[in-house]
């Protein structure tokens, strides 16, 4: 058994893995082990039908099934005899199976004995012990199965060979293999009893009206059902429709901005962005320089170009220059953009992408104090031009607020620090698709505690998620790890805790929450999940640990995501941007102070086909 | 009915009165015939005749076009059976005033139409193909959504059972598809315990 209680999780860079508890199992390991070698299986109790996520080598050796053959499946396949059987062998005691089900439902330990079969069909007696593992908040996150296998002295007759698989429809053939026993036909899985309506439909109706509305995961399952569905689900146009329906038009549009040569294809992209199996940290070296050097600038991506504006120079003076880094080119390098009439210099402002290829700057701390002006940069104009938007009734001037873009056209700003250091908790919306944009405050009955340095992420079309920041708590301020959401498609939007509770402070997600922080990075993944890392973290926690949350779950849970590659030691929200929907580019980040913007860290969420062209 | 002026003078009746009378007769007969065409007559493949309000029947774009061609006669539907057509008309009667917003129909599937689609696969299939050939978009949308809801979140084996689909892969092909199974846990290649 491969127990290594001294191994350090974060040091393992060669394999990706996921843990819900982030630490040693909460039970003493030796008590569970028998002296003889036994099989060890771990299943994920949070996923439907308890899929296996780990088996040890003893399991593999004794049962004859390799790990990759069984991962993702429920253990009940051990009750089927032979490779091609799809239902439980009649000799398997169904009362024991019911007992297992009862114990799992009640969350208690099971001990008992059950007939199992090796891959080659030979019988095994499995003395089984199932132990539920509880996560932080009393929900079962995993089930551990300890299996003590012994030979079973039962004569079963020959195992049905492969030639019989095709003719298993005929119940006569089937019965001849088990002549001594009456088969208990619970559900006859190999015979299609009943009319198959769906496959009678035309390819067009099937693809356009049914398959295109399934989630990426469901399409992947459907593709494994039968040959015709396998062929239909290989179609790239279908996958594009699936992605668009599942992730929304805006996300799909951003993903399409990556040039064709580097595109993975929608099928593979959907898979990788759902399973995150290809996520990795990389390092990029670029040319050029951002000079004079500065901190507290803001960066945002337009297509494959990273744009940087402003910042705080030496002597704390606010800067107003614009730099662009084109990641499309074979040798990307920082270039200073000559603009006429740039906005007044500032730091602590927000820079967001809007209307496709425009960037909007709001707020920040300028030479004469805090600002609340709005400037839009048209990067594709010749020459690129900043233009002031004079919106009526702007919000209070502020810095270190958070912003996001809704529908690709509406700027949302919230919170931040106003004059005299007061923290704000308001939310304003500016519709930049209008001729004359007007600021509109979103009226709410209750707001979360006011804060600065938090993040706003858009998910599920018109919902926003607020996380973290330095929040007001009475006369004091603490780093926060609270999550709040608001649905802007409602008539009267209101802030809620992400668990859905309307009571303030009543519910944060379960699982291991990220340590409280401000000025962190929040990446919105297609499908609604949010990835959090970086920032100024309370205590001695690493800022490069990745945390994942799906606010659309019934019971949202934080999960830790470990990916291969070396992460940056630091990552700041204001200087990190997401390129093409799949790459989070971290500027700076090796130390807290130094701003060498030629060494970038990138968290790529999907495979990059251009890997081999970079030196 | 046309009255010539000569006849009216001959009959000694006031021509203006007769004009008004003939106009009102023409108008009356037009009203009468339009009242008649408010009911559509539809004949299904098994020679059953359905008398359906025009507004209900023309929810089907196909029937709407055919009614134009038949001008008041019986509309023949050669590939729709009466049992299925009866169900379709029942659905149309319920939704005659509901417009074309497909999002509304998606919601209605969970409410007033929830039991309409709890039928066996053969009936569901015929409902869908009839909705398609009769071009009743909201009905087709709902029927397809029913299949989407049946598949949502199910494993491969559950989908096969629910939809009565036979597994026609060879062993090798099945091994290949199993290798391509999306890992159910995010970002995981192996599970390591401390």
**Is pLDDT above 60 for B7?**
no
**Is pLDDT above 90 for A293?**
no
3-state secondary structure of A95: helix
Report the percentage of chain B scoring pLDDT > 90. 16
Pick from B145, B156, B164: CB nearest A224: B156
pLDDT in tens, A574-600: 999 999 889 999 997 655 445 668 889
Question: Is A54 within 8 Å of B190 when comparing Cβ atoms?
Answer: yes
Q: How many domains does chain B have?
A: 1
Per the CB < 8 A criterion, the answer to whether B40 and B75 are in contact is yes
- Average per-residue pLDDT in chain A? 82
- Whole-prediction pTM: 0.68
* Full DSSP string of A148-177: EEEE------PPP-GGGTTTTTSHHHHHHH
Q: How confident is the model at residue A163 (pLDDT cuts 50, 70, 90)?
A: very low
Q: Which chain B residue lies closest to A85 (C-alpha atoms)?
A: B171
- Average per-residue pLDDT in chain B? 77
Q: How many CB atoms lie within 10 A of CB A291?
A: 12
> CB distance from B102 to chain A under 8 Å?
no
Which 3-state string (H, E, C) describes chain B? CCCCHHHHHHHCCCHHHHHHHHHHHHHHHHHHHHHHCCEEEEECCCCCEEEEEHHHHCCCHHHHHHHHHHCCCEEECCCCCHHHHHHHHHHHHHHCCCCCCHHHHHHHHHCCCCCCCCCCHHHHHHHHHHHHHCCCHHHHHHHHHHHHHHHCCCCHHHHHHHHCCCCCCCHHHHHHHHHCCCCCCCCCCCCCCC
Per the CB < 8 A criterion, the answer to whether A399 and A364 are in contact is yes
Pick from B160, B182, B189: CB nearest A16: B189
Interface test with A, best of B137, B185, B192 (most A CBs within 10 A): B185
Cα distance from A442 to chain B (closest Cα, Å)? 26
The pLDDT value recorded for residue A520 is: 95
> CB distance from A28 to chain B under 8 Å?
no
Question: Is A225 within 8 Å of B194 when comparing Cβ atoms?
Answer: no
A280-604 classified as CATH 2.120.10.80: yes
Q: How many CB atoms lie within 10 A of CB A491?
A: 4
Angle at B63 between CA B62 and CA B64, to 5 degrees: 90
Residues of chain A numbered 547-606 and touching chain B (CB < 8 Å): 548, 559, 561-563
Tokens standing for residue A95: 């009362």
pLDDT in tens, A68-110: 888 888 898 899 887 677 778 888 888 899 999 999 888 888 9
> CB distance from B36 to chain A under 8 Å?
no
3-state secondary structure of B129: helix
Pick from A24, A193, A217: CB nearest B182: A217
Question: Is A47 within 8 Å of B184 when comparing Cβ atoms?
Answer: yes
User: Which residue in B120, B128, B138, B130 sits closest to B44, CA to CA?
Assistant: B130
Interval A407-419 mean pLDDT: 94
Residues of chain A numbered 63-92 and touching chain B (CB < 8 Å): 68-69, 71-72, 83-84, 86
Q: Of the given ranges (A265-279, A402-416, B44-58, B60-74), which has the lowest mean pLDDT? A: B60-74
Residues of chain A numbered 207-246 and touching chain B (CB < 8 Å): 209-210, 213-215, 217-218, 220-227, 229-230
Q: How many CB atoms lie within 10 A of CB A309?
A: 28
Would residue B165 count as lying in a domain? no
User: Around A251, how many Cα atoms within 13 Å sit in the side-chain half-sphere?
Assistant: 27
Question: Is B189 within 8 Å of A196 when comparing Cβ atoms?
Answer: no
Q: Which chain A residue lies closest to B157 (C-alpha atoms)?
A: A225
Interval A348-364 mean pLDDT: 93
Interface test with B, best of A208, A226, A269, A461 (most B CBs within 10 A): A226
Per the CB < 8 A criterion, the answer to whether A338 and A350 are in contact is no
Report the percentage of chain A scoring pLDDT > 70. 83
How, if at all, do strands A557-562 and A546-549 pair?
A: antiparallel
Per the CB < 8 A criterion, the answer to whether A468 and A479 are in contact is yes
Q: Which chain A residue lies closest to B154 (C-alpha atoms)?
A: A218
Pick from A18, A84, A193: CB nearest B164: A193
Pick from B144, B156, B157: CB nearest A210: B144
Per the CB < 8 A criterion, the answer to whether A399 and A365 are in contact is yes
The pLDDT value recorded for residue B27 is: 53
Report the percentage of chain A scoring pLDDT > 90. 42
> CB distance from B162 to chain A under 8 Å?
no
Q: Of the given ranges (A85-94, A319-328, A497-506), which has the lowest mean pLDDT? A: A497-506
Homologous superfamily (CATH) for A39-151: PAS domain (3.30.450.20)
Q: Write out chain B residues lying below 8 Å of A45, CB-based.
A: none
> Which long-range contacts does A243-246 make (Cβ < 8 Å, 24+ apart)?
A243/A216, A243/A269, A243/A270, A243/A526, A245/A212, A245/A213, A246/A215, A246/A216, A246/A270, A246/A526, A246/A527
- Asked casually if ipTM beats, i.e. exceeds, 0.85, the reply is no
The pLDDT value recorded for residue A607 is: 86
> CB distance from A3 to chain B under 8 Å?
yes
The pLDDT value recorded for residue A370 is: 95
pLDDT in tens, B83-123: 999 999 999 999 988 888 888 888 888 888 888 888 888 88
Tell me how far apart the alpha carbons of residues A309 and A601 are, in angstroms, rounded to a whole number.
19
Domain spans in chain A, listed from the N-terminal domain onward: 39-151, 197-275, 280-604
Q: Which chain B residue lies closest to A196 (C-alpha atoms)?
A: B164
pLDDT in tens, A508-520: 788 888 999 999 9
Interface test with A, best of B140, B182, B190 (most A CBs within 10 A): B182
Q: What is the DSSP letter of B162?
A: H
Q: How confident is the model at residue A4 (pLDDT cuts 50, 70, 90)?
A: very low
User: Which residue in A298, A198, A296 sits closest to B163, CA to CA?
Assistant: A198
Interface test with B, best of A161, A195, A531, A545 (most B CBs within 10 A): A195
User: Which residue in A496, A585, A472 sits closest to A534, CA to CA?
Assistant: A585
Question: Is B151 within 8 Å of A214 when comparing Cβ atoms?
Answer: yes
Per the CB < 8 A criterion, the answer to whether A2 and A54 are in contact is no
Domain range for B76 is: 11-151
- CATH at residue B113: 3.30.710.10
The pLDDT value recorded for residue B186 is: 42
Tokens standing for residue B51: 């008398």
Would residue B76 count as lying in a domain? yes
Tell me how far apart the alpha carbons of residues A369 and A346 are, in angstroms, rounded to a whole number.
9
* Contact residues for B7 (Cβ-Cβ < 8 A; gap 6+): none
Q: Write out chain B residues lying below 8 Å of A221, CB-based.
A: 151, 154-156, 159
pLDDT in tens, A373-386: 999 999 888 888 89
Cα distance from B105 to chain A (closest Cα, Å)? 14
3-state secondary structure of B137: helix
Report the percentage of chain B scoring pLDDT > 70. 74
Q: Write out chain B residues lying below 8 Å of A3, CB-based.
A: 193
How, if at all, do strands B74-76 and B39-43 pair?
A: parallel
Pick from A187, A230, A279: CB nearest B161: A187
Inter-chain Cβ pairs, chain A and chain B, closer than 8 A: 176
Per the CB < 8 A criterion, the answer to whether A508 and A482 are in contact is yes
Cα distance from B164 to chain A (closest Cα, Å)? 5
Tell me how far apart the alpha carbons of residues A577 and A586 are, in angstroms, rounded to a whole number.
7
pLDDT in tens, A168-189: 333 333 333 333 333 333 334 4
Cα distance from A435 to chain B (closest Cα, Å)? 30
Interval B51-79 mean pLDDT: 86
Q: How far is CA A530 from the centre of its chain?
A: 6
How, if at all, do strands A476-479 and A483-487 pair?
A: unpaired
Q: Which chain A residue lies closest to B188 (C-alpha atoms)?
A: A17
Cα distance from B94 to chain A (closest Cα, Å)? 23
Cα distance from B97 to chain A (closest Cα, Å)? 24
Residues of chain B numbered 118-137 and touching chain A (CB < 8 Å): 120-122, 124-125, 128-129, 132
Question: Is A197 within 8 Å of B178 when comparing Cβ atoms?
Answer: no
What's the fold here for domain A197-275?
A: Monooxygenase (1.20.1280)
Question: Is B121 within 8 Å of A197 when comparing Cβ atoms?
Answer: yes
Cα distance from B32 to chain A (closest Cα, Å)? 42
Which of A22-36, A443-457, B96-110, B144-158 ranks highest by mean pLDDT? Answer: A443-457
Tell me how far apart the alpha carbons of residues A565 and A582 are, in angstroms, rounded to a whole number.
16
**Is pLDDT above 60 for B73?**
yes
Pick from B129, B154, B184: CB nearest A51: B184
B12/A113: higher pLDDT = A113
Tell me how far apart the alpha carbons of residues B171 and B177 are, in angstroms, rounded to a whole number.
10
3-state secondary structure of A45: coil
Q: Write out chain B residues lying below 8 Å of A53, CB-based.
A: 184-185, 188, 191
Residues of chain A numbered 46-65 and touching chain B (CB < 8 Å): 47-49, 51, 53-54
Q: Of the given ranges (A116-120, A421-425, B104-108, B175-179), which has the lowest mean pLDDT? A: B175-179
Tell me how far apart the alpha carbons of residues A198 and B122 are, in angstroms, rounded to a whole number.
9
Tokens standing for residue A517: 């922080």
* Distances from the Cα of B174 to the Cα of A83, A360, A412, angstroms: 11, 51, 49
Interval B134-160 mean pLDDT: 90
**Is pLDDT above 90 for A464?**
yes
pLDDT in tens, A136-159: 777 888 898 989 888 887 776 665
């Amino acid at each position: 058994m491969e127990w290594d209680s001294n191994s350090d999780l974060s040091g393992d860079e060669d394999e990706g893995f996921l843990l819900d508890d982030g630490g040693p199992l909460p039970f003493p390991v030796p008590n569970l082990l028998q002296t003889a070698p036994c099989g060890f299986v771990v299943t994920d109790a949070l996923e439907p039908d308890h899929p296996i996520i780990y088996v040890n080598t003893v399991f593999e050796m004794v049962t004859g099934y390799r790990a990759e053959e069984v991962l993702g499946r429920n253990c009940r396949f051990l009750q089927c005899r032979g490779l091609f059987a799809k239902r439980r062998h009649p000799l398997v005691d169904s009362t024991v199976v019911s007992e297992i089900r009862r114990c799992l439902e009640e969350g208690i330990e099971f001990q008992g004995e059950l007939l199992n079969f090796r891959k080659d069909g030979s019988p095994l007696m499995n003395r089984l012990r199932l132990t539920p593992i509880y996560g932080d908040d009393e929900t079962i996150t995993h089930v551990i199965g300890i299996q003590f296998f012994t030979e079973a002295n039962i004569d079963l007759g020959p195992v049905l060979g492969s030639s019989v698989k095709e003719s298993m429809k005929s119940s006569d053939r089937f019965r001849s293999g088990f002549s001594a026993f009456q088969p208990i036909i619970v559900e006859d899985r190999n015979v299609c009893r009943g009319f198959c309506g769906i496959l009678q439909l035309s390819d067009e109706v099937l693809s356009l009206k049914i398959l295109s509305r399934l989630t990426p995961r469901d399409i992947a399952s459907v593709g494994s059902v039968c040959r015709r569905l396998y062929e239909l689900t290989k179609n790239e146009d279908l996958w594009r429709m699936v992605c668009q329906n599942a992730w929304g038009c805006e996300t799909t549009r951003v993903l399409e901005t990556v040039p064709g040569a580097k595109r993975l294809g929608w099928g593979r992209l959907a898979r990788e962005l759902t399973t995150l199996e290809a996520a990795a940290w990389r390092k990029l070296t670029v040319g050029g320089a951002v000079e004079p050097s500065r901190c507290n600038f803001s960066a945002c991506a337009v297509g494959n170009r990273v744009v940087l504006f402003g910042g705080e120079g030496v002597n704390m003076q606010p800067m107003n220059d614009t730099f662009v880094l084109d990641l499309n080119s074979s040798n990307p390098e920082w270039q200073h953009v000559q603009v006429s009439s740039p906005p007044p210099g500032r730091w602590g402002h927000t820079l967001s992408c809007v209307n496709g290829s425009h960037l909007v700057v709001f707020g920040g701390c300028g030479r004469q104090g805090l600002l609340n002006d709005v400037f839009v940069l048209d990067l594709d104009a010749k020459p690129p031009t900043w233009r002031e938007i004079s919106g009526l009734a702007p919000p209070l001037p502020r810095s270190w607020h958070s912003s996001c873009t809704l529908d690709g056209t509406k700027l949302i700003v919230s919170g931040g620090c106003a004059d005299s250091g007061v923290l704000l908790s308001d939310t304003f919306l500016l519709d930049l698709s209008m001729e004359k944009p007007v600021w509109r405050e979103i009226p709410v009955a209750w707001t979360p505690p006011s804060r600065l340095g938090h993040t706003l992420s858009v998910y599920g079309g018109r919902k926003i998620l607020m996380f973290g920041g330095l929040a007001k708590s009475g006369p004091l301020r603490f780093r926060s790890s609270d999550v709040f959401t608001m649905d802007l498609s409602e008539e009267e939007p209101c802030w809620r805790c992400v668990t859905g509770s309307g009571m303030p402070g009543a519910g944060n997600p379960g699982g291991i929450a990220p340590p409280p922080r401000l000025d962190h990075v929040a990446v919105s993944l297609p499908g609604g999940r949010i990835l959090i890392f970086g920032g100024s973290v309370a205590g001695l926690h690493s800022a490069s640990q990745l945390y994942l949350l799906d606010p659309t779950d019934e019971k949202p849970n934080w999960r830790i995501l470990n990916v291969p590659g070396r992460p940056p030691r630091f990552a700041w929200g204001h200087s990190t941007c997401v390129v093409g929907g799949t790459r989070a580019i971290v500027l700076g980040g090796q130390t807290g102070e130094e701003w060498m913007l030629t060494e970038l860290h990138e968290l790529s969420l999907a495979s990059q086909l251009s890997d081999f062209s970079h030196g | 009915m046309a009255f010539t002026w000569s006849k009216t003078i001959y009959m000694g009746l006031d021509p203006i009165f007769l004009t008004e009378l003939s106009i009102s007769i023409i108008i009356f007969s037009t009203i009468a015939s339009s009242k008649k065409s408010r009911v559509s007559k539809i004949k299904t493949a098994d020679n059953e005749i359905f008398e359906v309000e025009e507004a209900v029947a023309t929810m089907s774009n196909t029937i709407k076009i055919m009614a134009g061609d038949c001008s008041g006669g019986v509309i023949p539907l050669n590939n729709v059976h009466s049992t299925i057509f009866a169900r379709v008309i029942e659905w149309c009667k319920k939704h005659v005033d509901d417009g074309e917003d497909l999002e509304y129909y998606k919601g209605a599937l969970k409410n007033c139409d929830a039991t309409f689609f709890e039928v066996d696969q053969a009936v569901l299939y015929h409902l869908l193909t009839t909705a398609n050939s009769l071009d009743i978009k909201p009905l087709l949308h709902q029927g397809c959504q029913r299949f989407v809801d049946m598949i949502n979140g199910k494993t491969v084996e559950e989908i096969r059972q629910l939809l009565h689909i036979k597994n026609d892969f060879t062993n090798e092909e099945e091994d290949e598809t199993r290798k391509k199974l999306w890992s159910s846990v995010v970002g995981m290649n192996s599970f390591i315990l401390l």
